[in-house]
Amino acid sequence: MSYPLTGAQKPGSRTRSPRTHWVSFFLITLLLLTDGMDVTIVSHVFPSLIREWGVSVGGGIALVVTGGAVAMGVGALVAGRLSDRFGRKPLLIIAGVVFSVATALTATAPDLFFFTTWRIVACLGMGAVMPLGITLLADLMPVRRRSAFVAAAYAGIGLGTTVGAIAAGVIIPQAGWRSLLVFAGIVPLVATLLVAFFVGESPSLTGRARVVDGIAKSVPSRVDRSVFAGVLGRRWRVTTLLLWAFGFISLGTQLMLIQYLPTLLQQPSPGLSTAESSAIIAVYGLASVVGILVLSAILIRASRFASIGVGLALSAAAAVWVAFIADSSFTTIFVVVTIAGLIIPTTLGPTRNVLAAAAYPAAMRGTGVGTTEFSARAGSAAGGVVGGALIGGLGLGLSGIFLALLVPFAILGAIVGALRLTGTDSRDVASSDPV
């Protein structure tokens, strides 16, 4: 029997070469980068749609954004569950092809109806790529470095946002928004094909497939049927509910902040210009990539619970610092918000996936990560509503919003502490993994 060059091992083998680990990491991260690019790239198209089709922000644009967010949540939930039954890699390839092709087809839309339809289809694939990619990466990596690799891969999503902004700035003025969407479809399709050819399937699932073909066929079938109930079963229920709460609050808080930060910076206080606020947001995003890479290095040697707990404490300190200098000059705000960008999005971004990927055994990891991601997507929608209420309803400015962040930071810290006390030990979880 032959084995592919992707690093899949012969029966009984429990190790994979370091070269295979790095190839898998870089290619999955590349696919996540294109996913992050396409999640946000449509926002650069909206001004063109408003001018060309007369679309309103509160009507058509809001429908595209809301429909896309719901679709991403559904994609994450369904894909995570199916990956525990049918494998991570096949579903990841399907999801990559779906969002690539649908994004390119969005460029053919003659009106808002078809634009929204193709966008929702694309978002189903985008929502699936995140949990599938993270779960497959977690399965392929050595247990000792799993959290570090998962955190580092998340940096690809932040970098994808920057790549999308650069591509939009170059392509739209020269060739129009339709060409941008064609580009945004071709690039992830190439990344998907690279993953298809050079990344292997989860060794835990390939091993299980061999068992299915043998005398123990009935055992994995029972696991498959009960896996969704498993994450809410007696042993895992508390962990799952805590992870759902963490995902909901962390991504909701992060998206609320990034969505409204330009508006906050351009309020009468501090009164920055569009160019100044854009510069701050761009550097804030790049700083988050650096911060995530630093976190991944820390996680190689440090406990994930301690690392995230310290990150939350530093995030609270950074939020107070920003609130304190909210009325200062552009230079001061630029420096302090950049430092905050090293800490806050690092703590709020990849950590839900770090926790979820390490919490579950391989047989239910896809479902665990997928349901956590669904909760996070629901939190992102709620974060937009909460941010609008705090700014529009209560009139909070830059200082008030950053002080308000202390509340979710405190809750997240309590959740991390509770997760540590649930008794779920990574060594126990790792016992089911052949990596």
**All structural domains of the chain with their residue ranges:** 18-222, 229-430
Q: Which pLDDT does position 216 carry in this prediction?
A: 34
| Nearest Cα to Cα of residue 81 among 226, 240, 297, 262 | 226
| Nearest Cα to Cα of residue 298 among 152, 83, 140, 419 | 152
Could you tell me which residues come within 8 angstroms of residue 377 by beta carbon, excluding any fewer than 6 positions away?
A: 69, 70, 72, 73, 76, 127, 251
Q: Which two tokens stand for residue 359?
A: 């919490």
Q: Which pLDDT does position 7 carry in this prediction?
A: 40
Alpha carbon distance 264, 402 (integer Å): 10
Are 396 and 281 a contacting pair, CB within 8 Å?
no
Measure Cα distances from 171 to 44, 66, 112, 178, 180 in Å: 11, 26, 21, 9, 6
Alpha carbon distance 182, 188 (integer Å): 11
Please determine whether the domains at 18-222 and 229-430 fall in the same fold group of CATH: yes
Give the largest CA-CA distance in the chain: 72
Q: Which pLDDT does position 56 carry in this prediction?
A: 73
Are 107 and 63 a contacting pair, CB within 8 Å?
no
Q: Which pLDDT does position 3 carry in this prediction?
A: 36
In CATH, what is the architecture of 229-430? Up-down Bundle (1.20)
Q: Which pLDDT does position 423 carry in this prediction?
A: 59
The overall pTM is greater than 0.75: no
| Nearest Cα to Cα of residue 101 among 11, 45, 158, 38 | 38
Q: Which pLDDT does position 296 carry in this prediction?
A: 86
Q: Which pLDDT does position 224 carry in this prediction?
A: 44
The CA-to-CA distance between both ends of the chain, in Å, stands at: 21
Kindly give the parts of the chain with pLDDT less than 70.
1-17, 57-59, 62, 204-229, 259, 274, 278, 384, 423-435
Q: 18-222 — its CATH code? A: 1.20.1250.20
Are 49 and 97 a contacting pair, CB within 8 Å?
no
DSSP for 258-323?
A: HHHHHHHHTSTTT---HHHHHHHHHHHHHHHHHHHHHHHHHHTTS-HHHHHHHHHHHHHHHHHHHH
Give the DSSP H or E segment for 168: helix 146-175
DSSP for 334-401?
A: HHHHHHHHHHHHHHHSTHHHHHHHHHS-HHHHHHHHHHHHHHHHHHHHHHHHHHHIIIIIS---HHHH
| Nearest Cα to Cα of residue 164 among 187, 133, 145 | 187
Mean pLDDT of the chain: 81
Are 260 and 314 a contacting pair, CB within 8 Å?
no
Model confidence pLDDT, tens digit, residues 158-204 = 788 778 877 887 888 899 999 999 999 999 999 999 999 999 887 76
